């Protein structure tokens, strides 16, 4: 299914009057509205190929139907999102779930949907059919060199696929770790992992980046070999200038101050990528901004402040991606909601009165500092986000149009009710 331009235009013309009134009201108090709108219009958030199907837990999976069964259909789904919001113009592939049959065809399809290829993801957390060695006890950390080599070779193969497609980054997330005290020698596990990563790093093309993603727990529950930002930063620093830390919001211990982590990584020039989601308990992979919207805003506040301090381009300076799972919602609706929440937080961060905040900080005026941040957080910036969409040819209300056009019903008709997306 495709969303046609006339359908978006019809939808927008029906909502235009109300939208314009809200935008005019908001703009009275926001002198920099135009600047914010153009930054929002430029901002793109990649969609991972594995987020298009229904997620699940170890207790079950309840498919909603019409799931994409091939890489081509996954790209079609992201094309639909991008047509609706013009903010999801990139796809992040996971190998071996998404090995392209024909690079040229896949590239042509991406161009048709206006998509680029975001970071490539390797997978050494599952065993694949026909694989010589098992990752049961880790991959790059493994005590057996043959297993480590298999993991390294796989990552190099992922880079090769990415080069063919025009990607320029590799995200390495390792599930390596241990589930019981005494199982691992921490130093040996670190050294083995570092050496393996170094071999992969040596195979990176000169214009590529490597993102080292950390995670505190799961699937190992006693130790994780890239368990926090300190460990990731150690690897990234030892690897070299093309290696960066990747922050996934769900990968911290409860109540971690992620905004502070982000600030310091940016200061060190070592923040490379970002995976958005939200959580209440663990790596819950819920819709961005659905549980802790204030935290999302505070993170964006540090991102904008830190990137501006370094003169970084907000759109291209970091790899932005949603890494969520959808157990009870339509995956496409959920992704539209995540993108909207991210855009809102970004817009609010752009509106923070930095001069006033700096002054209040310098005077230790704690109450004023809080007022400045909360004043912005409580501003309803949705008309600015909608205006950015309108100008880009997207829908004023993407979710509303998704439902009106019966996108899911159409996909079920085309693909069937019992399709299952490849991935987790």
Q: Report if residue 283 touches ligand PSV, rule: CB under 6 A.
A: yes
Closest approach, Cβ 122 to ligand PSV, in A, equals 8
Residue with token string 């056009």: 405
Residues that bind Mn ion (CB under 5 A): 248, 275, 323
Count the neighbouring beta carbons within 10 Å of the beta carbon of residue 420.
12
Closest approach, Cβ 323 to ligand PSV, in A, equals 5
Distance CA 328, CA 285 (A): 12
CA 416 to chain centre: 28
Closest approach, Cβ 325 to ligand PSV, in A, equals 8
Q: Report if residue 323 touches ligand PSV, rule: CB under 6 A.
A: yes
Report the Cα–Cα distance between both ends of the chain, in Å, rounded.
24
Closest approach, Cβ 17 to Mn ion, in A, equals 41
Distance CA 135, CA 176 (A): 9
Q: Report if residue 154 touches ligand PSV, rule: CB under 6 A.
A: no
Question: Which listed residue (213, 330, 334, 387) binds ligand PSV by CB under 6 A?
Answer: 213
> What number of chain residues touch ligand PSV (CB under 6 A)?
10
- Is the bond preceding residue 385 a cis peptide, omega within 30 degrees? no
Q: Which residues on adjacent β-strands are paired with residue 92?
A: 48
Closest approach, Cβ 347 to ligand PSV, in A, equals 26
Of 164-183, binders to ligand PSV (CB under 6 A) are 173
Distance CA 25, CA 350 (A): 18
Q: Which is nearer to ligand PSV, 118 or 387 (CB)?
A: 118
* 139 closest CA partner among 220, 72, 245: 220
Q: Report if residue 326 touches ligand PSV, rule: CB under 6 A.
A: no
Q: Which is nearer to Mn ion, 138 or 319 (CB)?
A: 319
Q: Which is nearer to Mn ion, 76 or 213 (CB)?
A: 213
Closest approach, Cβ 303 to ligand PSV, in A, equals 19
The 3-state DSSP class for residue 424 equals coil
Q: Which is nearer to ligand PSV, 277 or 376 (CB)?
A: 277
Q: Report if residue 244 touches ligand PSV, rule: CB under 6 A.
A: no
Among left, alpha and beta (phi > 0; psi -120 to 50; other), residue 48 is: beta
Q: Which is nearer to Mn ion, 275 or 408 (CB)?
A: 275
Q: Which residues on adjacent β-strands are paired with residue 171?
A: 121, 211
Closest approach, Cβ 228 to Mn ion, in A, equals 14
The 8-class DSSP code of residue 148 comes to H
The 3-state DSSP class for residue 244 equals strand
Q: Which is nearer to ligand PSV, 12 or 171 (CB)?
A: 171
**Residue number with the smallest Cβ distance to ligand PSV:** 173
Q: Report if residue 424 touches ligand PSV, rule: CB under 6 A.
A: yes
Question: Which listed residue (43, 50, 208, 211) binds ligand PSV by CB under 6 A?
Answer: 50
Cβ neighbours for 328, distance < 8 A, ≥ 6 positions apart:
62
116 neighbors 78 (Cβ within 8 angstroms): no
* Distance (Å) of CA 340 to CA 21, 316, 335: 20, 19, 9
Closest approach, Cβ 273 to ligand PSV, in A, equals 9
Q: Which does 283 bind (CB under 5 to 8 A by kind): Mn ion, ligand PSV, none?
A: ligand PSV
Q: Which is nearer to ligand PSV, 64 or 319 (CB)?
A: 319
Q: Report if residue 76 touches ligand PSV, rule: CB under 6 A.
A: no
Phi first, then psi, for residue 322 (nearest 5°) are -95, 130
Q: Which is nearer to Mn ion, 41 or 151 (CB)?
A: 151
Closest approach, Cβ 9 to Mn ion, in A, equals 36
Distance CA 122, CA 222 (A): 23
Q: Report if residue 215 touches ligand PSV, rule: CB under 6 A.
A: yes
Phi first, then psi, for residue 392 (nearest 5°) are -85, 0
320: which 2 tokens?
């932005």
The 3-state DSSP class for residue 57 equals strand
300: which 2 tokens?
């964006």
Q: Which does 215 bind (CB under 5 to 8 A by kind): ligand PSV, Mn ion, none?
A: ligand PSV
Q: Report if residue 229 touches ligand PSV, rule: CB under 6 A.
A: no
CA 215 to chain centre: 15
Closest approach, Cβ 324 to Mn ion, in A, equals 9
Q: Which is nearer to Mn ion, 251 or 415 (CB)?
A: 251
Q: Which is nearer to ligand PSV, 173 or 190 (CB)?
A: 173
Site residues for ligand PSV per CB under 6 A: 50, 121, 173, 213, 215, 248, 275, 283, 323, 424
């Amino acid at each position: 299914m495709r969303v046609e331009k006339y359908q978006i235009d019809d939808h927008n013309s029906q909502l235009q009057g109300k939208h314009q009134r809200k935008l005019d009201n908001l703009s009275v108090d926001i002198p920099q509205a135009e600047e914010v709108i153009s930054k929002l219009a430029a901002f793109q958030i990649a969609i991972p190929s594995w987020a298009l199907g229904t997620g699940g837990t170890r207790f079950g999976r309840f498919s909603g139907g019409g799931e994409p069964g091939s890489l081509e259909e996954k790209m079609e789904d992201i094309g639909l999102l991008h047509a609706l919001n013009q903010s999801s113009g990139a796809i992040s592939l996971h190998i071996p779930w998404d090995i392209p049959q024909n690079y040229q065809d896949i590239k042509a399809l991406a161009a048709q949907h206006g998509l680029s290829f975001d970071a490539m993801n390797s997978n050494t957390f599952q065993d694949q059919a026909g694989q010589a060695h098992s990752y049961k006890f880790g991959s790059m950390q493994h005590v057996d060199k043959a297993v480590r080599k298999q993991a390294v070779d796989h990552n190099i193969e992922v880079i090769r696929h990415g080069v063919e497609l025009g990607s320029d980054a590799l995200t390495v997330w390792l599930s390596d770790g241990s589930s019981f005290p005494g199982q691992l020698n921490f130093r040996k596990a670190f050294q083995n992992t570092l050496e393996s990563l170094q071999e992969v790093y040596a195979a990176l093309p000169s214009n590529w980046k490597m993102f080292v993603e950390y995670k505190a727990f799961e699937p190992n529950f006693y130790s994780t070999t890239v368990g926090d930002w300190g460990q990731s930063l150690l690897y990234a620093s030892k690897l070299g200038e093309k290696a960066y830390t990747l922050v996934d919001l769900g990968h911290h211990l409860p109540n971690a101050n992620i905004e502070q982590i982000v600030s310091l990584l940016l200061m060190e020039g070592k923040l490379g990528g970002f995976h958005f989601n939200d959580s209440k308990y663990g790596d819950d992979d819920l819709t961005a901004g659905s549980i802790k919207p204030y935290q999302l805003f505070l993170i964006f506040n540090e991102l904008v402040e830190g990137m501006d301090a370094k003169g970084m381009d907000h759109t291209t300076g970091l790899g932005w991606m949603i890494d969520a799972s959808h157990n009870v919602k339509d995956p496409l609706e959920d992704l539209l909601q995540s993108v909207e929440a991210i855009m809102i937080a970004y817009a609010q961060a752009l509106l923070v009165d930095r001069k006033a905040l700096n002054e209040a900080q310098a005077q230790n005026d704690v109450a004023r500092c809080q007022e400045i941040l909360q004043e912005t957080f409580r501003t309803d910036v949705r008309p600015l986000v909608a205006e950015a969409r309108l100008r880009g040819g997207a829908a004023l209300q993407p979710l509303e149009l998704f439902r009106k056009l019966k996108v899911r019903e159409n996909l079920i008709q085309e693909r069937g009710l019992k399709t299952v997306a490849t991935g987790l």
